[in-house]
Amino acid sequence: MPARRVPQHEAAAHAATSPCVPQILPGLYLGNFIDAKDLEQLSRNKITHIVSIHESPQPLLQDITYLRIPLPDTPEANIKRHFKECISFIHQCRLHGGNCLVHCLAGISRSTTVVVAYVMAVTELSCQEVLEAVRTVRPVANPNPGFRQQLAEFGGGAARKVRRHLKQRYGTSPFNDEEEIKALLPAGRGGPSRTEGPRQGLVPRARDIRTTTPFLLRVKRTFSCIPACLK
């Protein structure tokens, strides 16, 4: 039987795999299938919930609550129909003090799409703004063209409808998610904290603490996450 052909934009992650799982928001992480079975990393980040979205997602760990979405990474795949379920799962996890990892095969297309949809639902930011912010902590994030189109469609009334649903079901959000995401955007697109540079999210950060790490030190820390076999 011929081997399954891995899409080019997903295969790239096998060369970019890093032990650093980026934190997108407090309680929300974005990664790949390797991250989802890395016990040390899951423990370090106190991961309690996992959204697993790829061709054959399976629950791997007993102490983790899973949401499994079987979906190929193809432009014609209907990922939008899973948005509401994923968003509710992530939001409920965060409200209960948990930490959710969203992953696909490579952490590039499918998982990024779900994370962007969630952020769009809990903020009033556009798809492009959210994706730009996500890329500051995970540069390989790149939904396929079909998923981008579905995110653009979701950015209309659908995102507002889900936002109202979350408020009706769970009450007013205690999070400052829009400010958190704006802080990741390049200078000139948001508040003064955007000069900090990428946050790698190895440990959930205190939301009221801001640091100004020198540029060369940030570069050193970033490359220290590259596995030895890739150095």
Which pLDDT tens digit goes with each residue over 17-30? 455 899 999 999 99
14-18, 53-57, 160-164: least confidently modelled range: 14-18
Q: 174: exposed, middle or buried (C-beta count within 10 Å: 0-12, 13-18, 19+)?
A: exposed
Q: What is the DSSP letter of 129?
A: H
Find out whether 82 and 132 touch, Cβ atoms under 8 Å.
no
d(CA 202, CA 194): 19
> What backbone torsions phi and psi does residue 150 show, to the nearest 5 degrees?
-70, -35
The β-bridge partners of 31 are: 103
Q: Which of 60, 205, 163, 195 is nearest to 50 (CA)?
A: 60
Q: 47-56, 102-111, 142-151, 213-222: lowest mean pLDDT where?
A: 213-222
Q: Which domains does the chain have, with CATH numbers?
A: 20-230 (3.90.190.10)
Weakest-pLDDT range from 2-16, 119-133, 148-162: 2-16
Show which residues are catalytic: 104
Phi and psi, residue 102, nearest 5°: -105, 125
pLDDT at site 6: 41
By DSSP bridging, strand 65-70 and strand 49-54 are parallel
Q: C-alpha angle 217/221/226, rounded to 5°?
A: 145
- DSSP class of residue 195 equals G
Task: Evaluate whether 183 touches 194 at the Cβ level (below 8 Å).
Answer: yes
